[in-house]
Amino acid sequence: MSQSLLLVAALSLLGCSAAGKVCARPRDVENAVFRPGRVVYTPQDVVTYTCTPGYMKDSGTDKAVCLILGNWEHATLKCKRRQCPKPSILDHGRVHYTDITYQSVIHFSCHEGYRLHGANESECLQSGAWSTPYPVCERVTCPPPEIPYLGRLESYEPREGNVSFYQDVVRYSCQNNYALIGHENATCRANGTWSPMPECRDVKCQRPTEITNGYMSYAPYRKYNYKEAVTYGCNPPYTLVGSRTAYCNKDGEWTPKPLCQAPCHVPTPKANVLHNGRKTRVDEISRQQIQHGDVITYYCKNKKDKCAYTVESRCHDGNFTVPDCYKKPGVFSVFSTDPSDMTPCAQEA
């Protein structure tokens, strides 16, 4: 073979060898892109990485170099999400969030009694700004309250603009002889409406009935208006228990009538007792009779300790019970000491 042919062959082999030392596409970096983009790269070619929108450089190098042996000196770039400004305080409300980086969302809410004016959420954009402006928590207002038929506003103080604020209260009343059914107060609620107003109703009661052993003030046979009243009393010697006055209530019924309770006869005339804070004999009490609710205190003897103790007995509507410890004086009682004159027992002292 001639020298010229050998030279051509050598040059051909050298060209093939040089042509094989190229770099393929460089590896991807998370959340980044590189330029320029080619199918193959020759030694000494350089690509530059940049973080994609919404991300920013955190650390590492942003360039990769194709080496002479056909491999890459890779970039070490790391990209992190861009951060939005920390949310400020929302007056009369709250900002809810767990993260404030790109694509995260914060949520807004208002305290009870306030209404959100504006967006209820905002997203962190690739530019590092929030997508929507801050909302405002406006105080809830209620319009002027309605007035029930035959009723009136007893207490109402509107705010500027003739509105009421959340939890403001108005008080109602009814015209004379009309019954207020429901709550007399209404409250401005968190949804901007008033709680239910009452109703004014024309209520009538039938003529009230008499009471046993008692009497009623003049009460002609007719219908009685709401809150009209009658008065009761008891015939002697009965005692009135309960309210002396009954009223026609909003249900069309009379409030509870009183009772006339009977006195009691005390059947122990010779007993020394305490009555109305005074020591006396039972037969010294007028007709040996006490009123309902009155108390007689008996002296009883403790023979073992040679002392006396007391036991109360109360009159209840004609019923009176003498304590079991009381002993009726016998024939020879003049030779024994009456319990009322004995030394009080220790628990009585």
**45 has pLDDT over 80:** yes
**Same domain as 179, residue 164:** yes
Q: Tell me what the pLDDT averaged over the chain comes to.
A: 91
Specify if 306 maps to a domain: yes
Q: Residue 124's pLDDT is what? A: 97
Specify if 108 maps to a domain: yes
- Secondary structure of residue 8 in the 3-state scheme: helix
Q: Residue 346's pLDDT is what? A: 87
Q: Residue 12's pLDDT is what? A: 38
Q: Residue 11's pLDDT is what? A: 33
* Boundary residue ending a domain (81, 111, 130): 81
Q: How many domains does the chain have?
A: 5
* Boundary residue ending a domain (124, 139, 154): 139
Residues 184-216 as b or e (16 or more Cβ within 10 Å = b): eebbbeeeeebeebbbbbebebeebeebebbeb
Q: Which whole number is the average pLDDT over 278-297?
A: 96
Specify if 15 maps to a domain: no
- Give the number of other CB atoms < 10 A from CB of residue 156: 16
Q: Tell me the C-alpha distance between 257 and 205, whole Å.
A: 14
**What DSSP letter does each residue of 183-234 carry, written as one string?**
-SEEEB-TTS-BPPP-EEEE-EEPPPPP-TTEEE----SS-EETT-EEEEEE
**Same domain as 152, residue 130:** no
What is the CATH classification number for the domain harbouring 282? 2.10.70.10
Residues 230-246 pLDDT 10s: 999 999 999 999 999 99
Specify if 113 maps to a domain: yes
Residues 131-184 pLDDT 10s: 999 999 999 999 999 999 999 999 999 999 999 999 999 999 999 889 999 999
**10 has pLDDT over 70:** no
Specify if 272 maps to a domain: yes
Specify if 9 maps to a domain: no
In which domain, by residue range, is 60 found? 23-81
**Same domain as 300, residue 245:** no
**94 has pLDDT over 90:** yes
Nearest to 136 by CA among 102, 111, 155, 106: 111
Specify if 8 maps to a domain: no
**Same domain as 339, residue 318:** yes
Q: What percent of the chain has pLDDT over 90?
A: 88
User: Do residues 248 and 203 touch, judged by C-beta distance below 8 A?
Assistant: yes
Residues 244-264 pLDDT 10s: 999 999 999 999 999 999 999
**Same domain as 249, residue 209:** yes
**Same domain as 269, residue 344:** yes
H/E segment holding residue 12: helix 3-19
**4 has pLDDT over 90:** no
- Secondary structure of residue 264 in the 3-state scheme: strand
Q: Residue 9's pLDDT is what? A: 36
Specify if 130 maps to a domain: yes
CA distances from 335 to 125, 289, 329, 331, 332 (A): 112, 30, 11, 9, 6
Q: Which whole number is the average pLDDT over 102-123?
A: 96
Confidence band for 347, pLDDT divided at 50, 70 and 90: confident
Q: Tell me the C-alpha distance between 178 and 199, whole Å.
A: 9
**Same domain as 343, residue 268:** yes
**83 has pLDDT over 70:** yes
Q: Residue 337's pLDDT is what? A: 86
Q: Is the dihedral of CA 28, 33, 35, 38 positive or negative?
A: positive
**Same domain as 336, residue 303:** yes
State the DSSP code for 292. T
**Same domain as 106, residue 172:** no
Q: Please name every residue paired with 122 in a beta bridge, in sequence order, or none if there are none.
A: 106
Q: Which whole number is the average pLDDT over 90-95?
A: 96
**What DSSP letter does each residue of 104-116 carry, written as one string?**
-EEEEEE-TTEEE
**329 has pLDDT over 90:** no
**5 has pLDDT over 70:** no
Confidence band for 348, pLDDT divided at 50, 70 and 90: low
Q: What is the pTM of this model?
A: 0.60
Residues 184-208 pLDDT 10s: 999 999 999 999 999 999 999 999 9
Confidence band for 349, pLDDT divided at 50, 70 and 90: low
